[in-house]
Amino acid sequence: MPLTAEPLHPVFAARITGLDLTQTLTPDQVQEVRSLMDRYAVCVYPNAVSLTNDQHIAFGRQLGPMQRGRVLKVTGRQERLSDWPELVDVGNLDPDGKIQAPDSRARAFNNGNRLWHTDMSFHPNRATYSLLNSHLIPPSAGETEFADERAAYDALPNAMKERIETLVASHSIWHSRMLSGFPEPTAEEIASRPPAEHKIVQIHPTSGRKTLYLASHASHIVGMPVEEGRALIKELADFATQPRFVYRHRWTQGDVVIWDNRCTMHRATPFEDLRYPRDMRRATCRENEVVEAFMH
């Protein structure tokens, strides 16, 4: 049975029904999921119940090489989902299921997700799809916003398109973390994840569309004075996150939202994170097979 797509925004994002995410997909279904991603870039799959961790991982594995293990070290952080190294914990719970302490480094790290970003742009092997499943959501607020960087690129003035065509940005997770109030990174943290460079205009490999590739991780433009590069990154990010390019997702428990990091940005929005538990788990597909040594 073909999937049904109901657009959620004039330029991208759709709600998809007709797929059982707990079952192995047929090759045709995998192709359809991918085609919908190429068209909409953000696909919302509503589910009555959250996936089990194993179902979540199995679903993601069908869509590309999967991230497994940590790609960076946060000093002192205890991993709640350490039995499932494919899953990233983006909620606000500690390993005992309690809300993270106000002064915890893990909380400060996750608060960096409130800046517009693209998952793993700080890595040479980029993230393709992120699959985020909601297990527990606060009673209000805590939406996730997405921006369509293809539509933003299309809308840029030609002079700007020509100016940025060949520019390369350097992306560092520690840059975005310090922007959002994370303390000075430790030597262990810095050594665990050096910066990566990526062109800021990319051709999306499976749709062929041109797109911006931006993130709060972008610290400067290679070969340009730092402040000039930062001003340009800010100008482009402000342009790309205008309301006409942004879909705001209000979560329902059980939702699986898939976004394509190669052509969208996203950000978490605030909620009372010291009062309400929020349990969100992310699986991530990568552009190339993961060959790095496993990091716990």
Q: Which is nearer to Fe ion, 119 or 149 (CB)?
A: 119
User: Out of 89, 119, 260, 279, which residue is the one contacting Fe ion (CB under 5 A)?
Assistant: 119
* 146 or 153: CB nearest Fe ion: 146
Which residue minimizes CB distance to Fe ion? 119
By CB under 5 A, the count of residues binding Fe ion is: 1
Residues 210-239 as x/- pattern, contact with Fe ion by CB under 5 A: ------------------------------
Q: Which stretch binds Fe ion (CB under 5 A): 93-101, 111-119, 226-234, 284-292?
A: 111-119
Least distance (Å) between residue 113 CB and Fe ion: 5
Tell the smallest beta-carbon distance from residue 285 to Fe ion (Å).
14
Rounded to a whole number of angstroms, the minimum distance from the CB of residue 117 to Fe ion is 6
Give the binding range for Fe ion (CB under 5 A) out of 91-99, 118-126, 146-154, 201-209: 118-126
Residue closer to Fe ion, measured from CB, 19 or 173: 173
**Both tokens assigned to 295:** 């990091």
CB nearer to Fe ion: pick between 86 and 119: 119
Q: Is residue 260 within the footprint of Fe ion (CB under 5 A)?
A: no
| CB closer to Fe ion out of 131 and 164 | 131
Residue whose CB is less far from Fe ion, 5 or 215: 215
Per-residue CA distances from 83 to 13, 38, 51, 180, 231 (Å): 32, 32, 16, 29, 42
What residues make contact with Fe ion under the rule CB under 5 A?
Answer: 119
